[in-house]
Amino acid sequence: MKRSNMGWIWILTWLAVLLLGVNGVAAQETPDVDQTPQSDAGDQSDDVSAADADPPDSTRHVNVLTIEGPVTPIMISYIERGIQTAERDGAEALIIQLDTPGGQIDLMSDIVQALLRADVPVAVYVFPPGAYAASAGTLITLGAHVAAMAPGTTIGAASPVGSQGEDLGETLETKVKEDLKAQARALAQRRGEGAVAWAESAVEEAKAATAEEALEMGVIDFVAYDLDDLLAQMDGFEVEVNQRDVILSTAGAVIQEQPMSFVEQFLHIVTNPTIAFILLTLGINALLFELSSPGGYVAGIVGAICLLLAFYALGVLPVNYTGLILIALAFVLFAVDIKAPTHGVLTVGGIVALIAGALILFNSPLYRVSLGAIVAVAAVTGLFFAFAVGKAVLAQKKTVVTGREGLIGKVGEVRTLLDREGTVFLQGELWDAEAMDEAVPRGESVEVVAVSGFRLQVRRASRD
């Protein structure tokens, strides 16, 4: 098979793995959850159901943002753009549908500040059922003018951890916790003493609460089954926006979805742990493939782009550097096995190191690489390098057919008497030669035994 065809097959195989990873992420972010209302959580909304709500009023509208996944810089720009749009087009409110495991404290603080600066009422709605506003998502929810949750969702577990998911040192942990507790108290203060006490415990003791428990403690304002239910319950609710009281008029308002832009969606997908892992391994594989088969440039360009995107994601996500080192070690073992006469032993070790590195690359329980993606990537990488090792072993066993070594064993014709020295006609050329044993007369056939510089060492060829 031609080398160029092998390159395209390699690229298409990895693109298939990447697309499977994207589809897997999409499947994870759309859980199959029974959204049938629970009888014990719907008492408060029985009198204001979506079916009994007023028909949509085209003169009033609310804008809706949808956020899934960890807190990232893309999330900040998306929310800020959503707030600006809502302020500009006169929306009654901006609703942020949130499902997040949390993220870095500084990014969370930027989002909270954007919510507090907003000149339009902002509601954070933890949705769909099965979603959570964990860690940084807790303070984001508390920072909104209106906080709501769907039945079957959770909020809390806001204790700080290190950038790699590890526990902080005692002194640093105390400082960070006190700062977060102060922020939590300030954001929950208007919701009452019960909300303040719970917010502090969410930071100090990593407490979490269901939607119904949060409503009972005053942490949130509403439990709503869907957006229509939330709009009906928010209608007439009074909030303070930039030191002025605003009474919401949302019943029957038109819902206007404000999706992420293409660039925002792309970067948001890239920051998913599974996609980041696939991009990292794809990038390293592509560069190794380019180095082993230089001249095509396609694999090198693809590898460089994938590595840059992977480094962007790793700069945003809490990375365990031990996992990165194991992944790097895996590819070192793969590369060495092609040259060393181990016949695949190092490739097996590389696969083990790759799987172990992927499992601990993000050691926070809220950030994981999909097990299916780990298996698929390890299998594709292992097969690729096993193929390369097999080709290398076969090449080592083959007889050399080019260069000086390729002349050994070839048969030529004596042109001048080989009485110790003479000339031999071989492969269209005259060579100086010397006989290894007896003299050989002109016209006889001789076999090349060795090559010394530009002189052949020959012996009489057998009759056979």
Specify the pairing of strand 411-414 against strand 445-452. antiparallel
Looking up tokens 């159901």 gives 49
List the catalytic residue out of 4, 163, 175, 391: 175
- What are the φ and ψ backbone dihedral angles of 246, each rounded to 5 degrees? -130, 130
Query: What is the distance between the alpha carbons of residues 281 and 307, in angstroms, rounded to a whole number?
Result: 8
- Alpha carbon 161 to its chain's center: 21
Whether 391 is a known active-site residue: answer: no
SS3 content of the chain, % helix, strand, coil (to 5): 50, 20, 30
Helix 298-316 vs helix 262-270: angle between axes, to the nearest 10 degrees? 80
Q: Which of 135, 201, 364, 370 is catalytic?
A: 135
End-to-end, the C-alpha distance of the chain in Å comes to 36
- Tokens describing residue 353: 């190191």
150 near 223, Cβ under 8 Å?
A: yes
Q: Please list, in sequence order, all residues whose beta carbon lies within 8 angstroms of the beta carbon of residue 416, skipping any fewer than 6 positions away.
A: 422, 423, 442
Clarify whether 135 is annotated catalytic: yes
Provide φ and ψ at 311, rounded to 5°: -65, -35
String of DSSP letters for 153-178: -EEE------TTSPPPPHHHHHHHHH
Distance of CA 118 to the CA centre of its chain: 32
Residues serving a catalytic function are: 135, 175
